[in-house]
Structure 1
Amino acid sequence: MTDTTTTPLADNNDALDPLGDADEGLAKNRAKVGSARPSSLLYTYGPGAIMDLPNFSVMPAGLDDWEPIWKRREVVPTILEPRLLNVVRLHLGPQVDALRPFPWQPKKGSMSTEGSDLGLPARVFPQWFRCTGCDYLGPLPRFTYTNTHPFRPDVAQFTHKPCPGRGGRGRREGSPAVPAQHLLTCTNGHLDEFPYTLWVHRGQKCPNAENPDLKMRDANVGKSVGSTIICQSCNATRGMAEAQGAKGRLKLPQTCRGRHPHLGAFFPGCRAQPALIMMGASNLWFPSTQSIIVMPRSDAEQKEALADHLRVELGIDQIRQFADQIAVIRALAGARNIDVAGLTDADIAAAIADVIAPPESEADREERRANWDPIELLIPEWRYLQKPTLFPEQQNNTGLMVTEMQRGPDLHPRIHRVVGVNRMKKVNAVLGFTRLDEMDRVNDVASRLVELTRNGKPSWVPATEDRGEGIFLQLDLDAVGQWERHIESTPLWNSHVEAHRRNFTRRFSETAAAVNPDTRLPGPRYWLVHTLSHILIREMAMYSGYGAASLTERIYAWREEPGREAAAGLLICTTASDSDGTLGGLVALSEPVKLQSIVLAALRRAARCSSDPVCAQRTPSDPEDFLHGAACHTCAFASETSCEKANRFLDRRFLLDLPTAKGPVVPGFFGSTHGL
C-alpha cells in the first residue's frame, strides 16, 4: 500500500523570525495529510525533498524524527542484505547497523486500524504562504490550518481569515493559501526560505513597521516577468525577476545560513553563495541511492548476515557481555526469533567475533571510499548470470529464479545469451541526497552529500524490497570489444567527448568545477547497450502488459580491468513493492520466437524516426553540449523511471548504420538496416 505522511501544525499567530522554523516549540498536528508509495519516497519524495499535496507542500523529515514512530512497535523490522549494507557503511560509516523499511504496516481489513499510528513525519515547507483571495504574503502562523475530515486528508489546507479580498469583496470564511514558490539553496545542500521582507526593502528594514505586511502579485502577461513583492506599510515594490540569473544572484544574501529544513536545524559556517530556486525545480533534490539484486549468498555472506542480525536484535553490549557463552547467545537469539538451530557453535562464534571486532580506521575507510566504483555492485550479478546452466527449478530463499533460454534461429547473432528472470528481489537503500547537481556531477562527494540525521552518523537508513521479473540479454563480448576500439577513433565519438567536456564546464552549479569530465563519460559500449535497452523497453511495453514507465533497465557495460572481466549486457525488469511486479508478462517475452520478433521489430523501428534526418544526423558541435546523438523522444528516449542516466548517452548510430552529418557512416554494432 502506501506510507502515511504526517505534518506539524503551527496554531498561533505570534510574530516569528521570517526565515526560522515556524513550528519550533509549537504544538504538532499528527493527522494524516497524504500518502505515497515506497518507491516514490525513495526516488522522488525522500527526506529533504518537497512533496506537493493538493493544497500545500510538506518535506519528509530526517531519520531522527522517524525513531519515535518505529518505537511504537516492540520489534523494528529490518532488511538483511550484507552486500548492500557494506556499501552503505563504506559511505556513511561503520555505525550503520541496519536497513529499515518505511514505517508502514498493512491492514487486515478495510475497517481495521493496524498501522494507523505509523507514518512518515514531515514538516510544512515552504513556510511562507500567499493568499489566493487578497495576495497577502506571510509566514505560516498568520494562516489557519483546517483538517476536520478524518478520511479526507486531501481537503487539509491553510486559509487566510478573514480575507479582505480584492476590491473590498472580502470573505469572512477566508480564502485558500498556497505556498510561496521562491527558495534559496546552495551547493552544500542547504535550503532556506526566500527573505521577502529584506528583498523588497533592498536589504534594509521597513521604515514604517517592524514586521510589515507584504503582498505578492503575479505580473500581467506581456508586461513583466515573474511576481512583484509589495510592502503594505511603506509601498516599496520589487520584482522577483531581479533575483534570477547570474546578475540576480549577486543581489541575494551572500552568506548561506546553513539551514536543513528536514532536520529542523541550522549548521553555521557554510561558505557557499545562495542561489534562487523555485519550489518545483527538477534540481532541488537528487537522491543518492544504491541497489542490488538479491542473489544466493556465499558462506561468508551468510555469516555476515547472521552477524548483522545479531548486532541489530541483541545489541553490541549484550553480545560482548556473553561473547564466550555460546549457549546464552543461542537462547537470546531464539527469544528474538533468530534461527540458529542449524548453525554450529563455530558459526555462531565467528558471527560474534565479527560483531565485536573493532571497526576499521576512518583513514582506511576514506581510502576505500575514494577508490570505490559503483560497478562493484554489478559485478557479482554479472558473474552470476554468466553461469553456464541455470535451471528453471532454481529457487531459494533469496527469491531469485532464473531460466537460461534457447536462442531463436532468427535472433541476431550478436546477441549471445538470453536469460529469463522469472522472479527477482531488488533491495534499494538511501544514502542521502544532493541539490543542484546529481552525485555523478560532484567532485567532493563526502561534503556534498546531505546527511539524513542531525549528527551526520545514522545508525540505520531507509530501504525498500521490490519484487519483479525481467529479461537478461548478453552481447557477444569479443564483437563488442572490436567494435568499441573502432568507434573510439571516429569523429562522432570525438564530438561526444568534446560535448561532454563542454557540458561539465558550463554547469550553473560550481560543484562540478574540479571534476575531470573524461572520468565521468561512459565508454562507447555503454552507449551501445544503453541505446539497445531503450528501444527494447519501448517495444516490450507493447506486448508485456506493463506500461513503459514500469520497465526499468540495469546496464552491465564496462571494459576489462585488473580484477574484473569485461561486460556487455542488459537486464530489463519491472519491480514493485507488491505483487504488481510479478505478473509474468515480461519474462514470457524471453521465449525464442517472441524475443527474436521483438528484437527485430525494435531494431527496425530504431532505424527510422519521424524527426529524421535531423535526429539521425544530430551531432553536438561547439557551442552545443547535449549528451546524446541520434536519439529523441520519438525514437529512443524513455521515461525518468526507466532510464538510469536521465536519457543521456544515447545514439542510434551505435546500433545501426545511419548517415552522419559529418564524416563517414559510423559502423553500427548490428550492421545495416537492409540486413534486418
Structure 2
Amino acid sequence: MAEKINHGRSKMVSSYGGVGSVIDTPDASIIIETFDNWGYHNYDDQEKHKHIILDDRLVFRLRTRFPNLKYLMSIPIEKDGKVQPQANYFPKWFYCPHCDRFMHINDWKKHWDSGKGEFDLQCFDPKCKGQHLEQVRFVMTCENGHIQDLPWEYWNNREQIVENIELPLNETENIEDDDIEDNNEQESQSKIRLIYKKCCPEQELYYSVSNENTDLSGIHIKCKNCGKSETLKGIFGFSQNCGGRKYWLGLKNGQYQGEPCNKRAKVKIKTSNSIYYANTLSSLWIPEKQILDLSAELRTEIDGIVNDQDFEQKDLEKFARRKGIAIEIINQYLDNTDTAYIPEIVYRQAEYNYFLNKQQPEDQVIKFSQINVSGKLNGFEKLVKINRLKKITVQTSFTRNEPIDADSILIDPESGNYQYMVKPQSVSKNSFETHLLPAIENYGEGILFVLDEQKLKEWGKNDIITERVKNIQTHAEDSDWQFHKIEAENLSARKILIHTLSHLLIREFEYVCGYPMSSLQERLYVSENMNGFLISAYDGTDGYLGGLAKLCNNLENLQAIITNAIQRAKECSLDPICYESEGQGVAMLNLAACHSCTLIPDTSCELSNLFLDRRLLIDDEFGYFI
C-alpha cells in the first residue's frame, strides 16, 4: 500500500495526509496508518541516528503531553527504504459501476481468493470485463476521533423513516462491520431508524445510481434476493452509537482495532474537511535550550547503554570519559523532569526575542541580521533578514469534526483545563506514552516584520476599531465551534491588523520574489510584547530560492512593494459589498476580507483564513497606513 502514498513529506504531518487522514489515490481512498507501522523498528542504532531531528527546545515542550518522548523521527523519503508510510483502504465498501454489486472489501476479496488470486479492485464478474470498483462517498465520525463505515448491510431494512430536510452533497463539516454493538438495536435518536438485521438470509446488495435523479433519492441500496430497497435520502440525518473504530492503527491478529466509545457517530462525506484535523506544532530552531554537544549518534549510543538490562551509572561515566563529554551534559539529556507547560505565545516569544536581540550562532545553522527601518518603512520599526532558517513541524495527534487550538494540543482532555467536546487521537499506537513522534525538518528563508510599537498604540485608541473587534468576537460566540470561541477570546485589533497585513504581503510577494502564494507561509508574533510576523519559504515547497530575503537589500523597493499591496487592498472586485461587510466567511469571522482581496491558500495561513479585516489598514478614518 505504501506505493499508493504519493504526496510530499510535508503533507505527512498535515491535514492533507497525516496519520488518520483519508486521502484519495488514483485507485481508491485510503486511511494513513500510525507511524508505528512504518518500520522505524527496522532501524538499528547505527541507522536510527541518521533520521533523528534535533530540536531539544521542542522536545522539552512536547514532554508536557508525551513524558517518554525521546526522538523526533524524520518522515521517510525513499520509497524502497526500510521505513515507508502504510495505509489501508477506507471506506471498506465498494460497488461495481457496471453491474452495481455492492459489498464489503472482505467479500470482494473472497471472490478473488476463490478465483484468479490477487485482488486489484476490479469486479470479478466476467461480464464486467475488469471494471474498476468504486467506493461509497459516505463515512461516519464521532467527537472522540473514531471513523467507520455506515451499516450498509442494514440500510435497506428500516422500521421507520422520518422525513427531514436534505442537506446538500457538498456539506462540509478494523473491527468488522458485522460486529455492530447490541446497543445499536435500541431506539435511535436519528431521523432514520434501522432494525440492524439483514433484510434476508441470502442478502445480495446492489448500489445503483440514477442518471436522471442526481440527488440522494436517486441512489438506491437494493437486495437482489428479496427485492427490498431504500434510497440514501435523509442520510445526513442518520446517526448511531459509535463503534470505536480505529482503522489507522492497522490490523492486529487479522482484525482492525478499536475501543469502547459512548459518542454518537454522524454521517460525513469522505472528502469533507471536517473528518480530519491534524494537530501539529512547529518550531523555529534557535540555540536556546539545545544540548548542542550531543549529536544524534551519541544520543542513540547513550540510550543503548541505559536500556541495557545490566546498566549501571558507571557505564555512563566510562562512556563520557571515552567520548570526552561532560557527564552533566549526558544527565541533562536523560533528565525527563523538565516538562513545564509552555503556552504557544510564550514559546514564540523566545523566537521573537532571539531574532530581534541576538546575533546569528557561529555554526550558522541559521543566518540572519537585524535592520532598523524606523523612518524608512512607513509603519514598521525593524526587519530581520533571515537568509537561512530551520523549521521543525511535528504531528502529535488529530481530531475529527472540529479543530483545536495550539495551546490545547498539549493538554490532557481528562484535565479540567481542556475546553473541547472533541477528543484528540494520538498518532501512535502507544498513545501518549510513545518514545517517537513523526516530524519534518525544512530549511528556508524569510523576513520578520516588526511594526512600530508607538504608532500601534496610538492607532488602537480609536473606538471604531474597538467596535470592529467586538463585532468579530460576537460572531465567534455565536459559532458552533469551540475553536472559534477560544481563538476570539484574546483577539485584539493588533492581531487582526498584523494578520491581515501578512496576507496582503504574501499576495504581493507572489509577483516579486519567485514563489507562488502556496509556497509562502506566515508565522504570527502578536501579544502585548510582540507586534510582528514572519513570512517564509522552505525547501520542499518550491525550493529555497533566496528571492525572499533579498527583498531586504533595497528598502526603497520594499517600500514600493508594501505600498502596492496596500493599494491593491483598496480595490476588491466585490466592493462595496466586501468593504462594508459586517461579517462574512466561516461563522462570519471576517469583516472586509474575501477571496478576491485578502484570503490566501489554507496551507499559508495560520488561522484558517479567519480574523481578517483590510479596513483596519486602509480606511480613510481609522486605517493604520493612512
The letter for the 2-side match of 1:270 is: C
- Residue 134 of structure 1 aligns to a residue in which SS? coil
Instruction: Find the counterpart in structure 2 of residue 583 from structure 1.
Output: 545
Distance of 1:64 and 1:586 partners within structure 2 = 38
Contact 1:142–1:160, Cα closer than 8 Å, also in 2 = no
Distance verdict in 2 for CA 1:625–1:289, change over 3 Å: closer
Contact 2:569–2:598, Cα closer than 8 Å, also in 1 = yes
Contact 1:228–1:237, Cα closer than 8 Å, also in 2 = yes
Instruction: State which of 73, 76, 81 in structure 2 corresponds to 1:103.
Output: 76
The letter for the 1-side match of 2:141 is: T
Instruction: State which of 117, 124, 127 in structure 2 corresponds to 1:161.
Output: 124
Distance verdict in 2 for CA 1:266–1:488, change over 3 Å: farther
The letter for the 1-side match of 2:245 is: R
Q: Cα RMSD over matched residues?
A: 3.2
1:227 CA displacement? 2.6
Instruction: Find the counterpart in structure 2 of residue 235 from structure 1.
Output: 227
Give matches, 1:257-656, under 5 Å: 257-264=243-250, 265-297=256-288, 301-302=291-292, 309=299, 313-314=303-304, 316-318=306-308, 321-325=311-315, 328-330=318-320, 340-341=323-324, 343=325, 348-355=326-333, 357=335, 359=337, 368-369=340-341, 372-387=342-357, 390=359, 394=360, 396-397=362-363, 399-405=365-371, 407=373, 411-412=377-378, 414-440=379-405, 446-447=412-413, 448-456=423-431, 457-486=433-462, 490-503=466-479, 506-507=480-481, 512=482, 517=486, 520-559=489-528, 566-577=529-540, 580-591=542-553, 592-620=555-583, 625-656=587-618
Distance of 2:448 and 2:300 partners within structure 1 = 36
Q: Deviations over 1:575-608 (max 9, x none)?
A: 1248x53211111112212211101111111122
Distance of 1:535 and 1:317 partners within structure 2 = 53
1:377 CA displacement? 2.2
1:301 CA displacement? 4.2
The letter for the 2-side match of 1:316 is: V
**Which region of structure 1 is more displaced relative to structure 2, 450-459 or 178-187?**
450-459
Distance verdict in 2 for CA 1:396–1:575, change over 3 Å: farther
Distance verdict in 2 for CA 1:480–1:433, change over 3 Å: same
The letter for the 2-side match of 1:525 is: R
Contact 2:356–2:384, Cα closer than 8 Å, also in 1 = no
Distance verdict in 2 for CA 1:402–1:68, change over 3 Å: closer
Instruction: State which of 27, 42, 46 in structure 1 corresponds to 2:13.
Output: 42
1:274 CA displacement? 0.6
Distance verdict in 2 for CA 1:611–1:479, change over 3 Å: same
1:455 CA displacement? 3.4
Instruction: Find the counterpart in structure 1 of residue 162 from structure 2.
Output: none
1:471 CA displacement? 1.1
Contact 2:57–2:288, Cα closer than 8 Å, also in 1 = no
With normalisation by structure 1, the TM-score equals 0.77
Instruction: State which of 133, 140, 143 in structure 2 corresponds to 1:177.
Output: 133
The letter for the 2-side match of 1:159 is: Q
- Give the structure, 1 or 2, with the largest relative contact order (CA under 8 Å, sep 6 or more): 2
Contact 2:208–2:219, Cα closer than 8 Å, also in 1 = yes
1:516 CA displacement? 5.8
Distance of 1:612 and 1:181 partners within structure 2 = 38
Instruction: Find the counterpart in structure 1 of residue 164 from structure 2.
Output: none
- Residue 467 of structure 1 aligns to a residue in which SS? strand
Give the unaligned 5+ runs of structure 2. 112-118, 159-193, 251-255, 414-422
Distance verdict in 2 for CA 1:655–1:315, change over 3 Å: farther
1:131 aligns with 2:96: yes
- Residue 370 of structure 2 aligns to a residue in which SS? strand
With normalisation by structure 2, the TM-score equals 0.82
Distance verdict in 2 for CA 1:63–1:639, change over 3 Å: same
1:529 CA displacement? 0.4
Instruction: Find the counterpart in structure 1 of residue 417 from structure 2.
Output: none
Distance of 1:320 and 1:529 partners within structure 2 = 57
Contact 2:63–2:69, Cα closer than 8 Å, also in 1 = yes
The letter for the 2-side match of 1:127 is: K
Distance of 1:194 and 1:519 partners within structure 2 = 36
1:241 CA displacement? 2.7
Distance of 1:131 and 1:328 partners within structure 2 = 67
1:132 CA displacement? 1.8
Contact 1:101–1:462, Cα closer than 8 Å, also in 2 = yes
Instruction: Find the counterpart in structure 2 of residue 337 from structure 1.
Output: none
Say how many residue pairs are matched: 564
Distance verdict in 2 for CA 1:472–1:210, change over 3 Å: same
Q: Deviations over 1:225-270 (max 9, x none)?
A: 56322222222222223121xxx13xx32x1111111013444331
Contact 1:60–1:123, Cα closer than 8 Å, also in 2 = yes
Distance of 2:218 and 2:604 partners within structure 1 = 34
Distance of 1:261 and 1:80 partners within structure 2 = 31
Give the unaligned 5+ runs of structure 1. 7-31, 106-113, 147-155, 164-169, 335-339, 560-565, 659-664, 672-676
Distance verdict in 2 for CA 1:223–1:191, change over 3 Å: closer
1:189 aligns with 2:145: yes
Q: Deviations over 1:620-658 (max 9, x none)?
A: 39x994110100111100011111111101001111215
Instruction: Find the counterpart in structure 1 of residue 4 from structure 2.
Output: 33
Contact 2:374–2:380, Cα closer than 8 Å, also in 1 = no
Contact 2:242–2:262, Cα closer than 8 Å, also in 1 = yes
